[in-house]
Structure 1
Amino acid sequence: MKKSYAIVLCFVFMNIATSFAQQESKHNLNALLGKWKIDMSPYDKTDNNFAIMIIDKVSKNSIEGTFYRKGVRIREGRINTLNNYIYGALVSGDNSGDYNTSFYLKNGKLYGSTHSLKKDFLAVWEAVKE
């Protein structure tokens, strides 16, 4: 009887793992590659507050590139593909400290936020690929 339960549990876990693998494989991570123009204040269409993010490498669970200013390398770039979206998170920074950024891809557009502890702000942004 215990052996039957163990076999059933193994079967259930294998199905769950297969389901996650299939869900992840549906996503085209290469959609993240390229130059993204980030509107740092999308609610105000009269300003020119833009930044650039270049994603030049993606893998199963990571991204590499630059964020905000030319030469500021993305650190700890990660990808997650659950819930039918591609999610990303990264660390960047400048002379004022580190920035924690997260985003998701929806309909060819990135929606994200960037948090700076030292500058005491949270920017909500949208980005389109150039």
Structure 2
Amino acid sequence: MKRIISMSILFCLSIGLNAQESTQNKTAIASTLIGEWIIDLRPTPDAEAYLKSFVIDSLVGKSFSGTFYGSPIENGLLNSDWESIFFAFTTQDNTYPYYHSGYVKDGRIYGISYCPGRGFTIPWNGDKNDNTKEP
């Protein structure tokens, strides 16, 4: 009986530690992502920088919201099960939907946008705005 009670206590402690780790992981992900990112959307490698804002306002579970290039983010999803944080979302202008995906690694964000209606895809990257970085 004592063995069953001891094992039950260890099991409950294990669940509590896993929940604490999960909460800490979510907090770390949120502090990494939430804020404004300055994205370089230059059309070719030799073009001048074309800087636009990517803002992540909130993170709930695996979903996020914000704006990209002035358009509201729709269907924002995260996958933090890998070494990097991966994401995907859609936006729209007055005519076409745009599909975006990418990842955050070593404090930088990397992505690609695709618009079948306009017949283009473009890679992009950027850094978090210094005013929104965690201290």
Give, in angstroms, the shift of residue 26 of structure 1: 4.0
1:32-78 residue CA offsets vs partner (Å, 9 max, x unmatched) = 10111111138636513122111000122011001112xx2100000
- Structure-2 change in CA distance of 1:66 and 1:44 (3 Å): same
Q: Do 1:23 and 1:84's aligned partners in 2 also have CA atoms closer than 8 Å?
A: no
Other-structure match for 2:86: 87
- Structure-2 change in CA distance of 1:127 and 1:24 (3 Å): farther
- Report the aligned-residue RMSD: 2.3
Q: Which amino acid aligns with 2:57?
A: D
Summarize the alignment of residues 31-70 of structure 1 with structure 2, pairs less than 5 Å apart.
31-41=32-42, 44=45, 46-69=47-70
Other-structure match for 1:12: none
| 1:99 partnered with 2:98 | yes
Q: Do 1:42 and 1:126's aligned partners in 2 also have CA atoms closer than 8 Å?
A: no
TM-score under structure 1 length normalisation: 0.73
Q: Which amino acid aligns with 2:40?
A: D
Q: Do 2:112 and 2:124's aligned partners in 1 also have CA atoms closer than 8 Å?
A: yes
Give, in angstroms, the shift of residue 96 of structure 1: 2.8
Other-structure match for 2:117: 118
Q: Which amino acid aligns with 1:74?
A: I
Other-structure match for 2:74: 75
- Structure-2 change in CA distance of 1:111 and 1:98 (3 Å): same
Cα distance in 2, alignment partners of residues 113 and 107 from structure 1: 18
Cα distance in 2, alignment partners of residues 104 and 110 from structure 1: 6
Cα distance in 1, alignment partners of residues 41 and 49 from structure 2: 9
Identity score, percent: 28
Cα distance in 2, alignment partners of residues 24 and 46 from structure 1: 42
Task: Give secondary structure in 2 for the equivalent of 1:95.
Answer: coil
TM-score under structure 2 length normalisation: 0.71
Q: Do 1:23 and 1:82's aligned partners in 2 also have CA atoms closer than 8 Å?
A: no
Other-structure match for 1:29: 29
Give, in angstroms, the shift of residue 92 of structure 1: 0.4
